[in-house]
Amino acid sequence: MGLCSRRPTYVPLLRKHHRHLRLQWAREHRDWTMDEWKRVVWSDESRFLNHHVDGLVRVRRLPGEQLLPSCTAGHTQAGGGGIMLWGAFSWAALGPVVVIEQTTKAENYLDIIADQLHPYMAFVFPTGNGILQQDNAPCHKARIVLEWFEEHTDEFHLMSWPPNSPDLNPMEHIWDVMERQLRAQTPPCPNISTLCDRCLDIWYNLSLVMYQKLVASMPRRVAVILKAKGGATRYGVGGHNILALQCIFFLFNIAVSLFHITSVARKLVLQIIGHKKHPSPQLFLIIDALLC
């Protein structure tokens, strides 16, 4: 019948209620323009292991050969340790990335928002029209975190977010790119310190063109959610093919306009920061003060 044995495609577990909320979100954002998507700062957390094990390796052997060196694969407990990263980006500039030293509790997340994200939002969106996207992790919805956001509503807004929707967040593709680049490096990371250094180096060398294309994919992501009636989409499978699709569908529009000198200077600085390694949050505050 032409059927083949294949591993299942893993997608987020979506219940009827989840699909309803995803469809509702897509309907609310179906008419958003690119100017509106450019105002969104995308954020997420991801864990990177020192020794990546995906369980997809196969060997061919005869009965009784299962313990031969050529038929075994070494592994370490819990992947040999790892690190948790929190990162953010927008169309205008790559944002901060933070190595989370402890568990991601509400207090730790609030420190990241206040000390890292806040200066970035203030610089990139000085008029207070920025929009922060975050998922529905418990630490994101904690009372002290929501109270902090409420106190800063005049500086930026929170985007509503449907449950179980990593396929709508372009940050997932960035994590995927970082993971593949990390595994392509040789020799493997000998320790956590090296793993941390390599992850940060990959982050600060991410292409401006790449993450702008990811933002430009949002109208298509919304359209796919609408077509799937809130169900799973190809964007939730992995980011390996997204760039190729975006290269086909995405074209930059070049416009020439006149801007106030402060606006011009701000845009030039954003271009510099987008390619600068390890920009501190204080950098955004200092430059913003000089331009005002």
Same domain, 182 and 264: no
For helices 208-216 and 242-249, what crossing angle results, to 10°? Answer: 80
Q: What is the four-CA torsion angle of 89, 92, 94, 100, rounded to 10 degrees? A: -40
**C-alpha distance from residue 134 to each of 26, 86, 168 (Å):** 16, 11, 11
Give me the phi and psi of 179, to 5 degrees please.
-60, -45
Instruction: Answer yes or no: do 219 and 116 share one domain.
Output: yes
Query: Is residue 65 in some structural domain?
Result: no
Do the domain assignments include residue 59? Answer: no
CATH for 181: 3.30.420.10
Whether residues 118 and 190 fall in one domain: yes
Query: Average pLDDT in the 219-243 region?
Result: 78
Say if 9 falls within a structural domain.
Answer: no
Return the pLDDT at 78. Answer: 44
Same structural domain for residues 131 and 273?
no
In a domain, 8, yes or no: no
145 and 21, same structural domain?
yes
- Domain containing 259 equals 251-290
The fraction of the chain above a pLDDT of 90, given in percent, is: 59
For residues 266 and 97, the model is more confident at 97
Q: Which residue has the higher pLDDT, 270 or 192?
A: 192
Q: Is the pLDDT of residue 277 over 80?
A: no
94 and 152 co-located in one domain: yes
Same-domain pairing of 145 and 21: yes
Residues 224-238 as b or e (16 or more Cβ within 10 Å = b): bbeebebebbebbeb
- Is residue 104 one of the residues assigned to a domain? yes
- In the structure encoding, which two tokens stand for residue 39, read together? 């105002």
Do 268 and 167 share a domain, yes or no?
A: no
> Which stretch of 230-244, 255-269, 270-284 has the lowest confidence by average pLDDT?
255-269
Residue type, 21: L
- Least confident residue range of 75-79, 222-226, 235-239: 75-79
Q: Is the model more confident about 41 or about 100?
A: 41
| Residue 101 in domain | yes
User: Residue 137 to residues 83, 86, 104, 107, 162: CA-CA distances in angstroms?
Assistant: 18, 13, 10, 13, 11
**Residue 201 in domain:** yes
Q: What is the pLDDT of residue 253?
A: 36
Average pLDDT value for residue range 197-216: 96
Residues 20 and 148 in one domain: yes
Produce one character per residue of 161-187: b if its CB has 16 or more CB atoms within 10 Å, e if not: bbebbebbbbbbbbbebbbebbeeeee
* Domain shared by 95 and 174, yes or no: yes
Q: Does 67 map to a domain? A: no
CB-count exposure of residue 276 (10 Å: 0-12, 13-18, 19+): middle
Q: Does one domain contain both 134 and 191?
A: yes
Domain count, the chain: 2
Query: Mean per-residue pLDDT for 221-232?
Result: 95
Residues 84 and 210 occupy one common structural domain: yes
Q: Between 17 and 12, where is the model more confident?
A: 17
